[in-house]
Amino acid sequence: MELEIRFGEAIATAEGDALVVPMFEDGSWGGGGEWVAERMPGLAGYLEKAGFTGGAGQVETVPGGDAVPFAAVTVVGLGEEVDAESLRRAAGAAARACSRFATAVTTLHLLEIDEAAEMVVFGFMAGLYTFETFKSEAKPAAIEALVLAGDGGGGEPAVARGRALAHGVALTRNLVNTPAVAKPPAVLVAHVEDIAAAHGMSVEIYDEDEIVAAGFGGLAAVGAGAANPPRMVVLDYAPEGAVKSLALVGKGIVFDSGGLSIKPASGMEDMKTDMAGAATVLGAVQAIAELGLSINVKAILPFTENVISGHSMRPGDVFTARNGKTVEVLNTDAEGRLILADGLSLAAEGEPDLIVDVATLTGAAKVALGVEIAAVFGTDEARRLVVDAAEAAGEDVWPMPLHASYRSHIDSTVADIKNTGERWGGAITAALFLREFAGDGPWAHIDIAGPARSTKAADYTPKGASGFGVRTLVAVAEGLTAS
């Protein structure tokens, strides 16, 4: 959805249906709250009786009555103190609470957080997100506008950045939430072409014959069993005057049955999510273009299904990747790394300043870190840059080792490398596999198997696709530009 955002109106004269104000856990009001408290002297007592303590994530909505020019007042808790991420979460929780009103007015951006308006706009827009494309009677969104009452919070530039990030996250969520039947590679290509046209980017598409001719052996092998043929997509954002270059590679497995090493039925239920890496890259590039960042970005998106037919890749098969290395396939359900091998090889040929790949790659990353934290591997400098960017963006990642002795776990007796190692340390051996194709320059790998999908709705994150990683990749681009 698109939300009208107005900035700078005074709270006393702002026109809207619901007013959103913050309260801390000690009972003190955040920016603008005092204005409400003066006009609604019974509000604090009511909140206390309702069990509202100002704790982080708490939301309480009360009628405005005659005391204020709003039909309702929504009070959102901030906890003991507020930072950028807790402000995003508070804005998301407030958005969900007052989504039935046409216009919301808020003073959240007046809190003492740098660029607070960005956090509020992002949290509010991300919190309003719904995916009802396939419902026979989709509920129309009631809310149409958000008013930031009072000057502050970084002004219009912060508003624009929050909006661009929210747009990128919404794009990623939409693509991931779409059922596999409705997003075969050719349909995803059309989405990429639309984004390229809207933002003045160039795009190159390899069809199934061109994939073979270009030496993308991993993508050809994984896609061999699919009725919907694979595609390799290369999207270029190249603003005039940009000096630094960033290559982003996203895993685009549209649906993963496991191939002949088939998954159990329950393991396939959410496998439309297996292209979340590519969707994250696409959402980030759109946000980078919308923000007009001065950096060259090449997005490499291998798209394919991993399904079963008489043509499917078999355990024991050997193929040659784009960089000439041969790969023995022992488990066809370890397919994401095979298409990333080609994408990384292509990225390395351009010798960018940094390569980052994003993938729902291993269950082992979820075992190690749970479902809220992404694993980050890579060369030392690149890994630090990504971890720092994620911290600045408010997304949870953890640096992981590329333990050199584990490399022998993926030695093959018949090829240069095999696609699986021992049971233990699976996220590490998968990352070590990818390193073989990432060239000699700075490279980082983000395994988003856990946080790419949420099992429940909370604050600005809905149930289903989360859009995790978009903000981190944008921050990576900004950090690389400034370095």
pLDDT in tens, 272-296: 999 999 999 999 999 999 999 999 9
User: What is the rounded distance in angstroms from the CA atom of residue 305 to the CA atom of residue 310?
Assistant: 15
Q: Is the model's pLDDT at 65 over the cut of 90?
A: no
Q: Is the pLDDT of residue 140 over 80?
A: no
Residue 362 pLDDT grade (very low, low, confident, very high; cuts 50, 70, 90): very high
Q: What's the average model confidence in pLDDT over 189-202?
A: 98
* 458 contacts 449 by C-beta, under 8 angstroms: no
Instruction: Tell me which residues are annotated as active site.
Output: 263, 337
pTM of the shown model: 0.97
Give residue 469's region: left, alpha or beta (phi > 0; psi -120 to 50).
left
Identical fold, 4-150 and 165-482? no
Give, in words, the CATH class of 4-150.
alpha beta
C-alpha span between 159 and 419 (Å, rounded): 45
pLDDT mean across residues, the chain = 96
What is the band of 419 on the pLDDT scale with cuts at 50, 70, 90?
very high
Beta bridge partners of residue 399, listed in sequence order: 376
- Inter-axis angle of helices 155-177 and 470-482, nearest 10: 130
With cut-offs at 50, 70 and 90, classify the pLDDT of residue 67. Answer: confident
Residues 360, 176: contact at Cβ < 8 Å?
no
Between CA 297 and CA 121 the distance in angstroms is 26
Q: How confident is the model at residue 9 (pLDDT cuts 50, 70, 90)?
A: confident
Homologous superfamily assigned to 165-482: Zn peptidases (3.40.630.10)
Listed range (11-20, 158-167, 189-198, 312-321) with the worst mean pLDDT: 11-20
Would the pLDDT of 138 be above 80?
A: no
Which whole number is the average pLDDT over 367-371?
A: 97
Q: Buried b vs exposed e over 127-149: b needs ≥16 C-beta within 10 Å?
A: bbbbbeeeeeeeeebebebbbbb
Going from N- to C-terminal start, the domains of the chain cover 4-150, 165-482
pLDDT band at 185 (very low <50, low <70, confident <90, very high): very high
